Structure 1
Amino acid sequence: MFESLEQVREISAKWLQSYNEERPHDALAGLPPAIYRAQLERGSSPLTVSR
């Protein structure tokens, strides 16, 4: 299935990056974390904190 342990590490790292940064998250109003973070830094997040 894999040619080497290094290949497994490379594929895993790419998947982890995509999973954590690029795919939409329900908890972030359907936004990927990278986009949510950019909006949050600009002060234009679609999510608000209730007080």
Structure 2
Amino acid sequence: MFYNTDWSGVSISDFINILDDYLHWYNEVRIKQSLGYLSPMEYRRNLGLIA
């Protein structure tokens, strides 16, 4: 997300929104083979670590 990206025309508020969207995807949407093809949040929910 950050490498090879020109952020010169992006405002701070736009950057925060882009970063927030990326973090949401990274923690709640992307799947990991090592977690049984679940997202990190789904994996934690299945373990009963979060509500």
Amino acid at match of 1:24: I
TM-score by length of 1: 0.63
Greater Rg by CA: 1
Long gaps (5+) in structure 1:
43-51
Aligned counterpart, 2:19? 12
Runs of 4+ in 1 over 6 A off after TM superposition: none
Percent identical: 32
- Following superposition, the deviation at residue 33 of structure 1 comes to 1.3
- Deviation string 1:11-33 (CA, Å, 9 cap, x unpaired) is 11111121122210121011011
RMSD of aligned alpha carbons = 1.8
User: Equivalences for 1:1-51 in 2 at 5 Å?
Assistant: 1-2=9-10, 4-41=11-48
